[in-house]
Amino acid sequence: MTGLDIPEAGDLGAMIAAVDQLPFIVIVSEGPDLLVVGSNAATRAVLPGRRVVGRTIREVLSDLSGQQFLDAFYQVYRTGQAISGRQWRVHLDQPDGSVGEMFATFALVPWRYADGAMRGVIGAAFDVTELARERQAAEAEADRQRRRYEQTRDVIDALQRELLPAGLPVLPGLQVAAAYLLADADTRAGGDWFDAVTTPDGRIALVAGDVVGHGVTASGVMGQLRAVLQERLDAGASITEALSAADRLAGRVRAAYAATVSLVVLDPGSGELSYCTAGHPAPLVIPAGGPARYLTGTRGTPLGTGGSFPIRGDRLGPGEILLLYTDGVLERPGAAADPDGELAHVATDAAAGRALHDPSATAAERVCTQTLELLVRSGGHTDDITLLAAQRVPPVPPLALDLPAQPESLGGSRRNIAAWLAAVGAADEDVFVLQHALGELATNAIEHAVGGDVVEINARLLTSGLVEATVTDHGGWRAPERQPTRGRGLALTAQLVQSLRVDPGVDGTVATVRHPLLRPARLMTGFDPSFDRAVAATSLAITELPGGDEARVRIDGPIDASTTFEVRAELFRRSRGGTVPMTVDLSGVSLLASAGVSMLHEVAAQHLAEKAPLTLVATPGCPARRILELVGLAPSTGF
């Protein structure tokens, strides 16, 4: 061969025998058709029962057609460029008709004449099947461990979310927000927590705490400490009494030892506050204008360490924001030389709206979410980070509406109720609940009151975080006509709100609902933009969709006492009186009142009688879906 010494005739047999004993596959092919002129025992072992020498590569390896090997041989001959591969998977036909699998690491090189002209292709390969199997097993084990870790992490994250508050109270004259960023490390969720508890005297207790460590143990201990503090504060205990109760728990539970807490009790009306920093960083005050300032630390000691909990006082001015936080926001990779100054600067910019553009967020929400994003996006973070902010704002006056006792006035009342709730800071879920509940009560008052021309709706936000709303008529009571759109309003309202009371009297009936307002905190693993549902549509639209032999209808807007009969007529018209199968998409319905529920039951009963299926569709999270589930009209279920 080119580049090799030509052996004497007597040595040629010895050389061929030596090649035949090489422990790897060798196959030598010649000419444009790549006729095999030589191979060795290792080659014959992987190709049992095949005649190799004297046949073309295409004939010898016909079962590799489509597996790129044959193309590679001919490409090397055509281009003169070597080709190699690592751990290529190969399927080979076996003499018994089965298919064997092997993995090969190979090199295909040109075989040239002395003058450089192409003569053929020489292939050499190692059977690395065992090595590949070991690699696959290692990868499978690594994947199993990864999935096990992810499952464990998900359990810890879910535990953390369950142990933290479901929401923050909405109070007169105060906007509260919080954000929790899970640790960007293998240990994931840990022992940081926040809380906001209304006290019996109309104040609010704001808490940020940190348990040493991460994982299930830290999360569990955090839950215990939070529960103790919450119970004591809810019962009216002082800061010292509440922290002393948590301190006793830390003395009994080893994992709670040296946990730190910042506890502030604030009067939203006056701005007067008392606080204790039990081994915890002091809160930050962000004024409406001017530089931020840190409260003076009280020199309180971590829980369980045998120290004391001195109290200091201060005042939060109108428009000012109080920020509690855990030390993960300061002790992070890439933090500035002055992390306290950096936090104050970034939080001040976020409060003033000079950071990221988010016009729908409150200043307190911007301080929590944007401060986190801006501080950790360059260097990351290794510990949990919790931010809890409260801003004093002007109280929103109570709502007072006088409605003409006519169904047409319901749409305008819903808009007014939504606007008032948005002003006090209610979240979408509570806006939906109270719009629906007060709409049902107003509908009842319009339909049943005799002699009253006006229905009054009044609502106020209590210092406990409850909305108390009344719907009052000024007439006698009359039984409704027997119509399919009546009789479900009070039952539906009672299911939606915390409490409902109806007080009939000689001058009319007063229906009173109470419902807590909670604004959700942001529990984050990243910085996905949040969104709020738009204010519900106020006009009704019924659209017929392509459906072949089936009637398909989409409804957008409110279905209440003023629109129910229009919807009913359209559904019966498009389904030919319930004789044609029909799908009704309610995903765009902004309000499904009891009149609409009764109408859908009537339409469903008619379809059932005519044996023509009716399917109601409502996407998860839309207002109609919740009502359908409450009243037993499951969406996406045929009748």
**Which amino acid is it at 539?**
S
Backbone angles phi, psi at 349, to 5 degrees: -65, -40
- Kindly list the distances between the CA atom of residue 470 and the CA atoms of 220, 400, 482, 512, 518, in Å, as whole numbers in the listed order: 42, 10, 27, 4, 20
Same domain, 465 and 611: no
Same domain, 542 and 574: yes
Same domain, 508 and 544: no
Same domain, 266 and 357: yes
- Strands (DSSP E) along 299-392, which ranges? 312-315, 321-325, 385-392
Exposed / middle / buried, residue 590 (Cβ in 10 Å: 0-12, 13-18, 19+): buried
- Kindly list the distances between the CA atom of residue 486 and the CA atoms of 480, 548, 593, 594, 602, in Å, as whole numbers in the listed order: 7, 34, 10, 7, 11
Tell me, what CATH number does 620's domain have?
3.30.750.24
Same domain, 486 and 565: no
Which of 392, 409, 436 is at the close of a domain? 392
Q: Is 143 inside any structural domain?
A: no
Same domain, 178 and 259: yes
Q: Is 157 inside any structural domain?
A: no
In the numeric block, which tokens belong to residue 567? 């919807």
Same domain, 511 and 610: no
Tell me, what CATH number does 344's domain have?
3.60.40.10
SS3 for 67-84 is CCHHHHHHHHHHHCCCEE
Q: Is 137 inside any structural domain?
A: no
Tell me, what CATH number does 465's domain have?
3.30.565.10
pLDDT value at position 635?
64
Same domain, 501 and 553: no
Same domain, 411 and 388: no
Which of 337, 370, 392 is at the close of a domain? 392
Q: Is 343 inside any structural domain?
A: yes
Contacts of 345-354 with CB under 8 Å at 24 or more apart are: 345/292, 346/370, 346/371, 346/374, 346/375, 347/284, 347/286, 347/292, 347/321, 347/323, 347/371, 348/286, 348/291, 348/292, 350/374, 351/286, 351/321
Count of domains for the chain: 4
Alpha carbon distance 434, 413 (integer Å): 12
Q: Is 526 inside any structural domain?
A: no
CB 15 within 8 A of CB 34: no
CA-based nearest residue to 24, from 82, 118, 102: 102
Q: Is 531 inside any structural domain?
A: no
User: Residue 215 is part of which domain span?
Assistant: 164-392
Q: Is 505 inside any structural domain?
A: yes
In the numeric block, which tokens belong to residue 290? 């001017």
Alpha carbon distance 608, 602 (integer Å): 10
Q: What is the mean pLDDT of the chain?
A: 85
Query: Which tens digits make up the pLDDT trace of 213-234?
Result: 777 788 889 999 999 999 999 9
pLDDT value at position 628?
84
Same domain, 117 and 251: no
Q: Is 617 inside any structural domain?
A: yes
SS3 4: coil
Same domain, 410 and 451: yes
- Strands (DSSP E) along 187-297, which ranges? 190-198, 204-214, 260-266, 272-278, 284-286, 293-294
Distance from the first to the final alpha carbon of the chain: 83
Neighbours of 537 (CB within 10 A): 14
pLDDT value at position 460?
97
Same domain, 445 and 492: yes
Mean pLDDT in each 10-residue stretch from start to end of the chain (639 residues)?
44 69 91 93 91 93 88 94 91 91 93 93 92 84 72 59 81 94 59 92 95 80 94 96 96 92 97 97 92 95 94 96 92 80 92 85 92 79 85 96 88 91 91 90 78 86 95 70 56 88 85 93 58 44 80 88 85 88 89 85 89 88 82 58
Which of 127, 145, 178 is at the close of a domain? 127
Tell me, what CATH number does 54's domain have?
3.30.450.20
Backbone angles phi, psi at 443, to 5 degrees: -60, -45
Say which residues have a Cβ less than 8 Å from residue 501's Cβ, sequence separation at least 6. 511, 512, 513
CA-based nearest residue to 490, from 446, 438, 453, 536: 438
